[in-house]
Structure 1
């Protein structure tokens, strides 16, 4: 993978003061292992947009919001904030940044008694702690199929889609406990994500969406960041780019893509294209084979899905993650029964 310093400190010179002309949230979307972690760190370190770890809770609480009643009631608002504070986002942000969430401070900071107002208070507390601009962002690949919900919550947000060649994504996710374990599943999950993102972005006006590719970011970082800075309405644009050029060239590996050409077998490359050729071509990625009408049988699909799940079972982290999700589900059900 391309590398950015893991220590989240401001690596820019103090000569340039980043100024945000718009403080709307920044939602970074993309399939897992598309470079969103790297890109969010660049946005945090250099453009002062506050990103924590993957939130993973925004959609869940919005869908169960009716349980909390009228948020103009102090007790309901406090309960919502208290319940959200039990999510592992807070534990991970504490581990990563040393940030300890203060529920009372968040309660006091809510200016609009809405779910969006609660999110602003929570995420901007992290921004203040990390001395970022009063502008928060989120990158949670799992939201790819829930973007219309995010759009309801944050209708003013700006969305950046970081796309990456699905074949390199497949190579990156296979072998991780949360990722696909075979080419069929990797292709299907990548297709589902990029199709859902594309469908959502088509509903947005031009000023709210920007699509870039991981390959563009690595090979042409300065022009790519120029587009990002303009899109996010950040100044001073030229001075920032001048400061960023040596940093980006140092922190990003310009040739660290197209790994599929050497690491995938011809059979794997053909299989991936059989499923995902239209999506690859949509983003301008080179394809090798003639289009085909190949459709795997129901039995073949079942085999690949079962194999994928069986291979995931090998990873201790797979079980740890599912134990956490099971406990969260049980806790949520108990809260629901208690009303």
Structure 2
């Protein structure tokens, strides 16, 4: 077993792939605290020019108030004292990664734990930004059968797109995962199969803990207890996390997708499904109309992502100061 560490942990993957379940499992570990999904890390990174040079305490104070005072940040879901956290940010190291890390460190401290993490599927597209702030971060990418992900996304009250976007979402997520694994290697990037997580949780979580440098704890395989106390009210789509871990939803796409939808998913995602161990059912190919619609959606999404990459590159040219966290010795030696 490797020496104990305080490296940040980020849970990523396609939405509806089991990232919330894994977040709760990790939060059940006696050394790890990972909150429900927040909404301030990427937003703060993209807005970092607006806060100015954080070596100025007034700018750190403005950033702190932006984090703890906005409803959109979901800071209130963390159960922390906003004034105390804001004061800690103002008194902390003058970098964006430090300020954000202080919030998560305070959350971990609330539970008496030395290690923190965060969960958000969208982080899969922003690994570079997270590594700039936390160079020693570890990433756990959850992969679930694309047909089950698409079926689940269609049913979510917050998902405003059609099935073509849902399919593209899964494709992009697994492609991001492949690239991130190749770039970061097995010391910083680990894939978890949702189906293994719910059918043989102890084995899958033991492997995950070995990657994280932690001892497996049996409470991780039964996270339903903490789901009752940590999951914000109103997120009804997470109600299954409050019950025992079950494989009941594995393969449920067969009842939740129309035949033409299955055909579209399997035609578009065929090689990627097989690469992750999901065998296509052999459903007939979809109509050319649906394939053309998917091609247009995918092309539009790729164009938007290229534009966003250019914008991020431009913002990096005019940063008002360093972004790397200075909260640990490893961080301070990794300034980039």
TM-score interval, smaller chain: 0.7 to 0.9
Give the Cα separation in 2 of the matches to 1:272 and 1:260.
Answer: 11
Query: For residue 57 of structure 1, what is the aligned residue in structure 2?
Result: 40
Is it true that 1:283 corresponds to 2:246 in the alignment? no
Query: For residue 250 of structure 2, what is the aligned residue in structure 1?
Result: 257
Contact 1:53 1:89 in 2 (8 A): no
Of the candidates 193, 211, 215, which is equivalent to residue 195 of structure 2?
Answer: 215
Cα deviation, residue 93, structure 1: 5.0
Cα displacement string for residues 209-231 of structure 1 (whole angstroms, at most 9, x for unaligned residues): 11011101001101101011111
The 3 A distance-change label for structure 1 pair 169 and 120 is same
Is it true that 1:168 corresponds to 2:156 in the alignment? no
User: How many residues are treated as equivalent by the alignment?
Assistant: 278
Query: For residue 192 of structure 1, what is the aligned residue in structure 2?
Result: 172
TM-score by length of 2: 0.73
The 3 A distance-change label for structure 1 pair 295 and 180 is farther
Does the residue aligned with 1:203 lie in a helix, a strand or coil? helix
The 3 A distance-change label for structure 1 pair 245 and 174 is closer
Q: Which runs of 5+ in 2 are unaligned?
A: 225-242, 299-336
Is it true that 1:272 corresponds to 2:254 in the alignment? no
Is it true that 1:225 corresponds to 2:205 in the alignment? yes
Does the residue aligned with 1:29 lie in a helix, a strand or coil? strand
Cα displacement string for residues 242-290 of structure 1 (whole angstroms, at most 9, x for unaligned residues): x656779x83113431111333333221111111112212211111239
TM-score by length of 1: 0.72
Contact 1:148 1:200 in 2 (8 A): no
Give the Cα separation in 2 of the matches to 1:296 and 1:152.
Answer: 43
Query: For residue 4 of structure 1, what is the aligned residue in structure 2?
Result: none
Give the Cα separation in 1 of the matches to 2:291 and 2:221.
Answer: 51
Does the residue aligned with 1:251 lie in a helix, a strand or coil? coil
Cα deviation, residue 85, structure 1: 2.0
Does the residue aligned with 2:101 lie in a helix, a strand or coil? helix
Contact 1:49 1:132 in 2 (8 A): no
Query: For residue 88 of structure 2, what is the aligned residue in structure 1?
Result: 106
Give the Cα separation in 2 of the matches to 1:267 and 1:148.
Answer: 37
Give the Cα separation in 2 of the matches to 1:302 and 1:254.
Answer: 33
Write the mapping of 1:106-145 to structure 2, written as runs, cut at 5 A: 106-107=88-89, 110=92, 112-129=93-110, 131-145=111-125
Say what the alpha-carbon RMSD is for the aligned residues: 3.1
The 3 A distance-change label for structure 1 pair 100 and 77 is same
Q: Which runs of 5+ in 1 are unaligned?
A: 1-18, 306-339
Is it true that 1:28 corresponds to 2:8 in the alignment? no
